[in-house]
Chain A
Amino acid sequence: MPQIILEHINKRFDKFVAVDDLNLVIEDRGFVTLLGPSGCGKTTTLRMIAGLETPTSGRILIDGKPVYDSEKGINLPPNKRDIGFLFQNYALWPHMTVYQNIAFGLEMLKWDKKRIQERVQEMLKLLKIEQFVKRYPAELSGGQQQRVAIARTLAPSPRVLFMDEPLSNLDAKLRGEMRTELKRLHTDTNSTFVYVTHDQLEAMTLSTRVCLMETGVLQQYAPPLEIYNRPANTFVAGFVGNPTMNFIPARVLSRRQNGLELSFLGREALFETANAGEVGEDAILGVRPEFLPISPNGALEAAIYSTLPAGMETTVKASCGDTMLTSVVFGSVDYEVDSRVRMDIVGSDIMLFDKATQKAAASGRVVFPG
């Protein structure tokens, strides 16, 4: 079964380090997302696994078989790796019709004409593009091109499918639809998906595991909810989630049996945790906006800065001292600017980061005295 293993993968373009000592195991039938801001090395990683790019050093195994090994000098070309690749701009061949585009890969496999025809029909039906079979790519809309590209990639039934930001050229509505389709396809095709995106929502909603990268370094590799709830560092915490997590500067006053005594926003409170890791005197308290509700009896006092109602929920920004806090409130509420409100920190998924290393030190709940 195709399991993909990356061991100590490095990639340098001249002096620029694109990927730095990356280790990754992509499980069979997983839907793994490579997530990160532009230039973080995620596309390069994908292209290296596919064989379109050669790593500078390291080892890549697909299905237990080394496809790249810098020490042994192994480097299989892409066509020997049994994969599919969906490009960001679809890379449809402009001189071929939809049919010819989809059939191309099957012809390369030396299928007979009849089988090709059947398979193409099947793909056309699967992606609901039967009516465009005789058109040229230039005569299709973005979404239709996208479907043709997927059909072309899926036609030879690759066991691993690589996708490089396939939805970024689509408008918001189509993107939403295609997400659903992709997730469905993943189950239907029974294959491994590796997906590159810079859209954290896409990563969260689609994948079984997210690999978050920054400047060529792996930040965290975990299932989406773990990424969300237990971010490994402030970068991951800040990148994932919308609106962004609140980072509140805090001082560690003392360590207790059941947690840490903290001082922040002019208040002192107990950070109750069972797993306190290393943390210096300076720390950062990470609070998701949904754990910062506005409540009349809240421990913190803040002044409303602005209110952004979106119908289903409302994002409220309020300043507490010098710190701007973001809160998400269910339903549509409107606060007068500069009016004073009280806020609370609730739940047990509050993060504590060490300020010096920016790494997560603990997760737990904040208990205000009294």
Chain B
Amino acid sequence: MKDTRQDLRREPLYFRAKAFFSKPANLILLFFLAVLAALSLAPMVTMLTNMFKVHAGTERKLLRLKVGSLTLNHFEMLFRDYEWGKANFWIPLFNSLIVACGAGLLGILIGGTVAWFVTRSDLKCKKFISAVFVFPYMMPAWTLALFWTNMFQNSKVGGGVVGMVESLLGVCMPEWFVFGLFPMIVVIGLHYSPFAYLLIGGILKNMDATLEESATILKASRFTIIRRVTVPIIMPAVLSTFLLIFSSGFASYTVPVFLGSATRTFTLSTKMRALIQAGYEGQGYIIAFISILLGTLILGINQYFTGKRKSFTTVTGKSGQVSLVRLKRANWPISALLIFLTLFFAIMPLVSFALESVIRQPGNYSLSNMTLNFWIGTEASQFETGMPSGILINSTMWAGLARQVGLALAVSMVVGTCGMLIGYACVRRRGSFLSRAVENLAFFPYLMPAMAFGTIYLAVATSGGFKWMYGSFFLLGLVAGVKFLPFASRSGVNSMMQISPEIEEAATIFGVPWVTRMARILFPIQKSAIISGYLLPVINVMREVALFTLLVPYPRYLLTTMLFSFNETGYSQYGSAVTLLIIMIIIGINSLVNKLTGASFDKGIGG
């Protein structure tokens, strides 16, 4: 008998190449390998060289060297000058780690608990809780930070401005509660808890109930089952959720800006921005690079754990009727508590932003102090309030909104499609070097802090042959596209994993061309998951700030950058109005798409 493998090896190169290129999956992988390498590795190289270069501004002033000349000074300052390094690197690093860890744990704790109650118990008002619980994830994270300070600032801390809690209840929270690491952990943890909720909830929902039932029959108590069976089984998912939140928290910029400025609590990303802003770009890039290294390390840890032999990312099984845990008398108190919490963190911010946007003078909530001027007023003077008129009748606002929505849609079309193609190709060629390379490259931008990403692309767009991009809509789209590809490709891979190759092969046998197979078979089957993959970038772009601040031609170019500058410069009413508008638009888009197609952004995450 002939060894067919031997035969294959002896085949002329030509035939092997032909066979290779006749598979669309291979072509897609090659294409994305090239594009992604250029788009995510090129900035990386730019960043690396920038760590050794003299930049304009302070560096130029301090070093008295020509811009662009090579230097090791950035490293020396950051790592050899103890006092400087401590203030500008070590303490921020420590803070970042604390915030990231705390947020990860809190997010998992809250999201996981709610997920367990919703999927595994006879909790009341499940529908409401699960619908509203995901709101904080749709809001820009810093709006929650803003909400936190609006709520808890008081006459004893910071500037002594009275917040809602003090004016309504007369309670003064201590400083550590209002500013610094604690609220950062709470806000970031809350922001990402829906993420944990969706991922863990998805696994709990799919997890075979008999795994728990068999423990029940072996006389394990409810608590023992959770501890010894449920938790270990969902552990790999929990761990990777933790690591995702960890790296998001680590890279978070806007939240530490809002909650840390008052107490000078820097994290690595705010420090990076501060250093770049103060003209120490080289050191800023070094910090960015270290952040990326840490991110890669975390990704490595994640892969190590999910790759172990006792792990099982997909726990499937014919789960019979899941019997829900009866909470009995605890049902109402727990339901009430969860409803209160979701209301507080999901609905209250909306109410508070609505309120803040109609009061003339901050801190005074009496009816006489209210006005719709910031929404529809015409008499506001630009120099006193920052805008020539209320936001709803203001052309700058509408232009910014139109650009933001346009950007979101454009990015979503491109990224969603790329994500789906990458998902398809990676799943079909699973295990091959190409597939792994593309999947990892597509995930790589996730590790880059948005702030660093923006800075690097600014450097790219003002050098070499890329100048035509500078300040353009295209550049914003490109940066957002690369930055948000990780989510889309993840969701693409997840949705394609669910389709067995036979389904496509059945069509291949009939001679159906690839494009038709994709459009008529694969897409319809995973319609809602794929549309969710398109929806995710929309939401991401709609709420992104840090990525765009450096790249917009002027702060009011986009709605979010406009908003951020409102909040930074103190036009809080406009800021609140625009925030409310953005959140409403995101929720609106999500529920519209959900109504029309059954897709929803949370499905994109859950896979």
Instruction: Indicate yes or no for A touching B, C-beta below 8 A.
Output: yes
Which residues of chain A come closer than 8 Å to B317, judged between CB atoms? 89, 91
A93 engages B233 (CB within 8 Å): yes
Q: Which listed residue (B216, B229, B232, B310) contacts A79, Cβ 8 A? A: B216
- Given A43-B320, A87-B210, A94-B312, A50:B229 Cβ within 8 A: no
- Check A105/B233 contact, CB under 8 A, given A52-B323, A53-B323, A139-B309: no
B127 within 8 A of partner (CB): no
Q: Check A105–B216 contact: CB distance below 8 A.
A: no
Contact with A along B220-232 (1 / 0, CB 8 A): 1100100011001
Determine whether the beta carbon of B320 is less than 8 Å from that of A95.
Answer: no
Q: Within 8 Å of chain A (Cβ to Cβ): is B505?
A: no
> Of A53, A84, A89, A152, which is within 8 A of B318 by CB?
A89
Q: Which residue of A lies closest to B213 (CB)?
A: A52
By a CB distance below 8 angstroms, the chain A residues around B235 are: 95
Within 8 Å CB of A78, what residues of B? 213, 216-217
Q: Is A172 an interface residue (CB 8 A)?
A: no
Contacts of B219 in A (CB 8 A): 79, 105, 108-109, 156
The reply to whether A53 and B321 form a contact with Cβ atoms under 8 Å apart is: yes
Question: What's the minimum C-beta distance from A141 to chain B, rounded to whole angstroms?
Answer: 16
A94 to B310, CA, bound (A): 6
A167: shortest Cβ distance to chain B, in Å? 15
A95 near B232: Cβ-Cβ < 8 Å: yes
Q: Are A108 and B310 in contact (CB under 8 A)?
A: no
Contact of A93 among B216, B217, B229, B320 (CB under 8 A): B229
Q: Does A136 contact B (CB under 8 A)?
A: yes
Residues of A near B49 (CB, < 8 A) are none
Given known A91-B213, A94-B315, contact A156–B321 (CB-CB < 8 A) = no
Interface string of A90-122 (1 = CB under 8 A from B): 010111100000001100110000000000000
Distance (whole angstroms) from the CB of B440 to the closest CB of chain A: 25
Closest to A156 in B: B218
The CA-CA distance from A77 to B232 in the complex, in Å, is 23
Which of B214, B218, B310 is within 8 Å of A87, CB to CB?
B214
Closest Cβ of chain A to B239, distance in Å, is 12
A29 CA to B130 CA in the complex, in Å? 48
Interface residues in B232-275 by Cβ distance below 8 A to A read 232-233, 235
Measured between beta carbons, the chain A residues less than 8 angstroms from B208 are 89, 91
A44 to B309, CA, bound (A): 35
Q: Is the CB of A91 within 8 A of B214?
A: yes
Distance in Å: Cβ of B216 to nearest Cβ of chain A? 5
Cross-chain contact B310 with A136 (CB below 8 angstroms): yes
Which residue of chain B has its CB nearest to the CB of A50?
B217
B211 touches A (CB below 8 Å) = yes
A104/B228 in contact, CB under 8 A: yes
Against A, the Cβ 8 Å flags (1 = close, 0 = not) of B185-229 are 000000000000000000000001011011111111100100011
B214, B217, B233, B318: the one contacting A94 at CB < 8 Å is B233
CB of A47 within 8 A of chain B?
yes
- Of B217, B218, B228, B235, most buried by chain A (CB within 10 Å of CB) is B217
Q: How far is the CB of B208 from chain A (nearest CB, A)?
A: 6
Would B215 and A95 count as touching, CB distance under 8 A?
Answer: no
B contact residues around A96 at 8 Å (CB)? 232
A85 within 8 A of B: yes
> What distance in Å separates the Cβ of B46 from its nearest Cβ neighbour in chain A?
44
Interface string of A23-51 (1 = CB under 8 A from B): 00000000000000000000110010010
Asked if A211 CB lies within 8 Å of chain B CBs, one says: no
Evaluate whether A138 and B309 lie within 8 angstroms (CB atoms) in the complex, with A87-B214, A95-B233 already known: yes
Contact A79/B220 with A95-B232, A138-B312 known, Cβ cut-off 8 Å: yes
Q: Does A83 touch B at the CB level, under 8 Å? A: yes
Kindly provide the distance from the CB of A205 to the nearest chain B CB, expressed in whole angstroms.
25
CB neighbours of A138 from chain B (8 A)? 309-310, 312
Contacts of B213 in A (CB 8 A): 52, 78, 85, 87, 91
Query: In the complex, what distance in Å separates the CA atom of A50 from the CA atom of B315?
Result: 24
Cβ contacts under 8 Å, B216 to chain A: 52, 77-79
Interface centre among A54, A108, A152 (most CB of B within 10 A): A108
Which chain B positions have C-beta within 8 A of A43? 320
CB contacts (< 8 Å) of A153 on chain B: these are 214
Q: Does A88 contact B (CB under 8 A)?
A: yes
Please indicate which of the listed interface residues A52, A54, A83, A156 has the most CB atoms of chain B within 10 Å of its own CB: A52
- Are A84 and B217 closer than 8 Å at their CB atoms? yes
| Chain A residues closer than 8 Å to B309, beta-carbon distance | 136, 138-139
Chain B residues within 8 Å of A, Cβ to Cβ:
208, 210-211, 213-221, 224, 228-229, 232-233, 235, 309-312, 315, 317-318, 320-321, 323
Which residues of A does B touch, CB under 8 Å? 13, 43-44, 47, 50, 52-54, 77-79, 83-85, 87-89, 91, 93-96, 104-105, 108-109, 136, 138-139, 152-153, 156
Could you list 27 A-B pairs, sorted by A, with CB under 8 Å? Answer: A44-B321, A47-B320, A50-B217, A52-B216, A53-B321, A77-B216, A78-B216, A79-B217, A79-B221, A88-B210, A89-B210, A89-B317, A91-B211, A91-B317, A93-B229, A94-B312, A95-B310, A96-B232, A104-B220, A104-B228, A108-B218, A108-B220, A138-B312, A152-B214, A152-B218, A156-B218, A156-B219
Nearest 10 Cβ contacts at the A-B interface: A105-B218, A91-B210, A79-B219, A87-B210, A95-B232, A91-B214, A108-B219, A85-B217, A94-B312, A78-B216
| Contacts A89-B318, A108-B218, A152-B214 supplied; 12 other A-B pairs, CB < 8 Å | A13-B321, A47-B320, A78-B213, A78-B216, A83-B217, A84-B217, A85-B214, A87-B214, A88-B318, A95-B312, A105-B220, A108-B215
